[in-house]
Structure 1
């Protein structure tokens, strides 16, 4: 069975991916499963730059180890707020300066939107996926979901900016959704549904 190597050790992300891709005839593995301890610096100017860089680096490491029959999949995801000219964008995970500090990132976002009216708080989550097969075939795609930024956190589910991201069709924040509800409509859920066809092509 072909291996799908996910270029991540983010547990929240990993759970979502495994759930959505559960029905594909492919073994979903992560960096540690492949004996890889690699941290690729995300210094690109776009989500695709970062996603592609991660895939390429891990592809090279796997080839070096003599691996075959695999697809590497990486993603770069983040939040774009229109009023802030697309910030935090590629800096979403380290918006407040410390990588992965959700509390500080959310506080900074709220501070930067302090006093801004609801109609100017439009935002979207973006998930850019990049895939490279063992034969060096490259594919990329993007999933998005639109919403707006609340004035305070609501809900304790999800991770990152989820409690601040309000999704109007369900009248709740992403932090108030179950994982099943979120997977159906989230940027990553949308991208992963699309990516199923690409994975089938690369099998």
Structure 2
């Protein structure tokens, strides 16, 4: 008789032959569709912050794109408007401040395009009217009012105000937003007076009644190249351009 073995008997597996566990397999992640609100991943390449490294002007208005491109001057990357991005949303302007409006437009454009975006907002501030029309400058006489309608409405309110109290200024705020969340603003001012009647047929908006001491005439009387040397938007654009170029030296488009 053989002595008993100290090795326990081999037990059959608890699973059936066809149900034995298998080696785990890697599961591929689902394909991702473009999400306008998504953030691009960090990259060691300093210029690859957007999909192309462009500067996007947050407007569909081609006239405004041309004006801003001229004011910003030559830059080391392409500058385009939102027309290059079908489906880009329009952002309604609020009544809080110029900076809030400009930042809202720049943020929306940066989130949709995944590029660095630039937007602006501006208005006329009349001291005798306690800063009005301000952020409501474009809607001062109603949503569908023309430039002539707005000028007539403003001059009506200014009737009888002496020249020394007709001081006013144009103010412009330019905002830059990047798709990773960085943002900043620059501001430009142009001081002047409200004329008693429109003068000249150049420019747009309130230009024909905005008298500039430096020029001794209204903005509506001067050529575009003269206006673009000293306007509120030109001054804000120069500051924005200087900062963009400084950041470009560090690799930011």
Who is 2:53 aligned against?
2
1:79-118 superposed matches below 5 A? 79-99=124-144, 101-118=146-163
Who is 1:38 aligned against?
89
Who is 2:213 aligned against?
168
Highest CA radius of gyration, 1 or 2?
Answer: 2
1:8-23 superposed matches below 5 A? 8-23=59-74
> What is the distance in 1 between the residues matched to 2:61 and 2:156?
26
Cα-to-partner distance string for 1:90-147 (whole Å, 9 max, x where unaligned): 0001100125621111111111111111111100000001101233210111100100
Q: How many residues align?
A: 197
> What is the distance in 2 between the residues matched to 1:138 and 1:15?
23
Which stretch shifts more, 36-45 or 154-163?
Answer: 36-45
Q: Does the 8 Å contact 1:164/1:173 carry over to 2? A: yes
Which structure: greater helix fraction? Answer: 1
Q: Does the 8 Å contact 2:88/2:112 carry over to 1? A: no
> What is the distance in 1 between the residues matched to 2:188 and 2:62?
20
**Equivalent of 2:112 in 46, 61, 75:** 61
Q: Does the 8 Å contact 1:94/1:101 carry over to 2? A: no
**TM-score, normalisation: structure 1:** 0.91
Which structure: greater strand fraction? Answer: 1
Q: List alignment gaps of at least 5 residues for structure 2.
A: 1-51
RMSD after superposition: 1.6
Q: Does the 8 Å contact 2:88/2:109 carry over to 1? A: no
> What is the distance in 2 between the residues matched to 1:157 and 1:10?
19
Who is 1:47 aligned against?
98
**TM-score, normalisation: structure 2:** 0.73
Shift of residue 73, structure 1, vs aligned partner: 0.5
| SS of structure 1 residue aligned to 2:170 | strand
Q: List alignment gaps of at least 5 residues for structure 1.
A: 64-69
